[in-house]
Chain A
Amino acid sequence: MTTIQHISTGRRIKDRIVQGLVYLAFALAVVPLVSVLWLVISNGLARFDLTFLTHSMRGIGARDVGGGAYHAIIGTLEQVLLSSLISVPIGLLTAIYLVEYGNGGRLSRAISFFVDVMTGIPSVVAGLFVLAFWILFLGMPYSGFAGAMALSILMMPTVVRSAEEMLRLVPDDLREASYALGVAKWRTILKVVLPTAFTGIVTGVMLAVARVAGETAPLLLTVFFTDSINNDPFTGPQMGLPLYVFDQAARPNDTAIDRAWTGALTLILIVMLLNLVARLIAWWRSPARR
């Protein structure tokens, strides 16, 4: 029989060192986040007012104060909504196919491979693709919709991957329980599998939305620029918040730089707000609430 030994000093020291390293790594990871937030908030608050949120840049000269990002906010919301409308159904159905019907066959392996390839597409290439195919080849005009298509190319693989993960987490027990009640497979997926994975899928979609909401390069090539309000995403150039920031930040005077900071702040707030809404939906749908 061995006696219970006290923790040796060596182990104690090692424990402390590793603990210190973990805290240090955490602090290092948080530094950029905090500094970005701090910079954006402190610089952006100056112009974060009602004028900014309700006015466009129409008729605002190069050295004028005032002006706002209303046109860009509208553009971003519409473009992100449209790209979600395109990529969420396709992505979700793809994930359902992969998990429920693919059975690791040749087609599902091919789809998986191409989804991985799509994940690696640089955002500017997605924009170039839409520019080349939709605008130059088919002769369509610059529009918010063209931008939404480019964004949905970026969004789709993220949606597929996250939805796939979540669907795989649904235990087979539940599928079998449903089959054993004489429920058809498609109804089982619709009524048992999807509701069980719902919260996770919403989170995945929100991450995808957050990713594309900040994309500049694909918009640069597809929605063009405008200083005016364009509520119709299907005709004529639109603006987007990332474009707005890009545009304003490139101008030489301080008033424009201030607008760029506020635009960035607005973008962060929009993404945060969307996340909050998604959390609320997930919470509202969760069984623990009842």
Chain B
Amino acid sequence: MSKQIQVSGLDAYYGSHKAIEDVSMTIEPRSITAFIGPSGCGKSTFLRTLNRMHEVIPGARVEGKVLLDGDDLYSNNIEPVTVRRMIGMVFQRPNPFPTMSIYDNVAAGLRLNGRVSKAQLDDTVEESLKGANLWNEVKDRLSKPGAGLSGGQQQRLCIARAIAVKPQVLLMDEPCSALDPISTLAIEDLMAKLKDEYTIVIVTHNMQQAARVSDRTAFFNLAEQGKPGKVIEMDETSRMFTNPSQKATEDYITGRFG
């Protein structure tokens, strides 16, 4: 169910603008990897290169290698669609499909990708909503529109939608930045639960969150103003937050940045 990601020498561009340069890292399966760093340093861009969402933006392109258990995601004979089926994504703002009910939102990935029997769909929807800790709150109103839920519930709905297609990896782009502390806690608990089955990568601006949930942390920063972003340091989260090897990491984590 869960796969390792190996990135080597990855550059990402928006048109002629180079957003990140020469990123290499290994993301271990069944663990949570957190990306921290100041705004605009390419964390989200890098995250989006991992499931080929980066190239959805007109003019955006990627150079370098991303290996999912040894398979290069950017090789010519691999379709982005199949990559995205294996590597799910949760976005910063909850984005349930407004025309669909709660049930249909969770079932969307399966339904839109082919025919599935009703019984199987029912099972998957229940399983995914339980997996996202949302089942008890919505089981009596599955046919109500997904947009009618609260922000935190919507985000968990989006997580349920992402895990319904049974991906190998789950990418989360600041999943809690629009949520209150209680909902954030619910999502963090959920991540801790999900990491038994998935490889999880999370971008966060909240350093306490990175320290709380992640096993490994990567610190991104711009080499200097106007230059592309890069990975400054990556290590076990406990070491990153107590004894980082780079001065810049320490400055950022302790809030003495810039």
Complex CA distance for A182 and B86, rounded to whole angstroms: 8
Indicate whether A182 sits within 8 Å of B95 (C-beta atoms), given known contacts A103-B58, A287-B100, A290-B101: no
Which residue of B80, B82, B108, B147 contacts A181 across the interface (Cβ within 8 Å)?
B108
Determine chain B's interface SS by DSSP, over half rule.
mixed
Q: Does A141 contact B (CB under 8 A)?
A: no
**Contact (Cβ within 8 A) A183 B113:** yes
Q: Does A64 contact B (CB under 8 A)?
A: no
Q: Mark A167-202, 1 if CB is under 8 A from B, else 0.
A: 000010111111111111001100110011010000
Indicate whether A180 sits within 8 Å of B89 (C-beta atoms), given known contacts A191-B112, A288-B145: yes
**Contact (Cβ within 8 A) B99 A177:** no
A287 contacts across to B, CB distance below 8 A: 98-101, 145, 147
Q: Does B56 contact A (CB under 8 A)?
A: yes
Which residue of A183, A188, A195 contacts B99 across the interface (Cβ within 8 Å)?
A195
Complex CA distance for A290 and B147, rounded to whole angstroms: 12
Which residue of A171, A173, A184, A288 contacts B81 across the interface (Cβ within 8 Å)?
A184
Which residue of B80, B98, B101, B162 contacts A174 across the interface (Cβ within 8 Å)?
B98
4 new A-B pairs (CB below 8 Å) besides A183-B108, A191-B108, A198-B99? A171-B95, A181-B112, A183-B81, A192-B97
Q: How many A residues, CB 8 Å from partner?
A: 24
Nearest A residue to B146, CB-CB: A287
Query: Which B residues are closer than 8 A to A by beta carbons?
Result: 51, 53, 56, 58, 80-86, 88-89, 91, 93, 95-101, 108-109, 111-113, 143-145, 147, 158, 161-162, 165
Complex CA distance for A178 and B100, rounded to whole angstroms: 13
**Contact (Cβ within 8 A) B53 A183:** no
Indicate whether A177 sits within 8 Å of B95 (C-beta atoms), given known contacts A183-B109, A288-B145, A290-B145: yes
Nearest B residue to A170, CB-CB: B98
Complex CA distance for A275 and B162, rounded to whole angstroms: 39
Which of A171, A184, A198 has the largest number of chain B CB atoms within 10 A?
A184
Indicate whether A181 sits within 8 Å of B101 (C-beta atoms), given known contacts A176-B95, A290-B145: no
Which residue of A177, A182, A188, A198 contacts B165 across the interface (Cβ within 8 Å)?
A182
Q: A17: shortest Cβ distance to chain B, in Å?
A: 43
CB interface residues, A 96-127, toward B, < 8 Å: 103
A173 contacts across to B, CB distance below 8 A: 91, 93, 95
Nearest A residue to B85, CB-CB: A182
Q: B123: shortest Cβ distance to chain A, in Å?
A: 18
Indicate whether A290 sits within 8 Å of B143 (C-beta atoms), given known contacts A181-B84, A181-B161: yes
Q: B207: shortest Cβ distance to chain A, in Å?
A: 26
Which residue of A171, A175, A178, A290 contacts B112 across the interface (Cβ within 8 Å)?
A178
Complex CA distance for A287 and B161, rounded to whole angstroms: 18
A182 contacts across to B, CB distance below 8 A: 81-86, 109, 113, 165
Q: A270: shortest Cβ distance to chain B, in Å?
A: 30
Which of B80, B85, B86, B98 has the largest number of chain A CB atoms within 10 A?
B98
Which residue of B53, B93, B97, B145 contacts A180 across the interface (Cβ within 8 Å)?
B53
**Contact (Cβ within 8 A) B88 A181:** yes
B100 contacts across to A, CB distance below 8 A: 287
**Contact (Cβ within 8 A) B108 A178:** yes
**Contact (Cβ within 8 A) B144 A290:** yes
A183 contacts across to B, CB distance below 8 A: 81, 108-109, 112-113
Nearest A residue to B143, CB-CB: A290
A103 contacts across to B, CB distance below 8 A: 58
- Could you give 15 example pairs across A and B, Cβ below 8 Å? A174-B95, A174-B98, A176-B91, A177-B97, A177-B161, A178-B108, A180-B51, A180-B84, A180-B89, A181-B113, A183-B109, A287-B98, A287-B100, A290-B101, A290-B145
A177 contacts across to B, CB distance below 8 A: 91, 95-97, 158, 161
B165 contacts across to A, CB distance below 8 A: 181-182
Q: A60: shortest Cβ distance to chain B, in Å?
A: 51
Complex CA distance for A179 and B162, rounded to whole angstroms: 11
B111 contacts across to A, CB distance below 8 A: 191
Nearest B residue to A183, CB-CB: B112
Q: A96: shortest Cβ distance to chain B, in Å?
A: 16
Q: A191: shortest Cβ distance to chain B, in Å?
A: 5
Which residue of A181, A188, A195, A290 contacts B162 across the interface (Cβ within 8 Å)?
A181
Q: A186: shortest Cβ distance to chain B, in Å?
A: 11
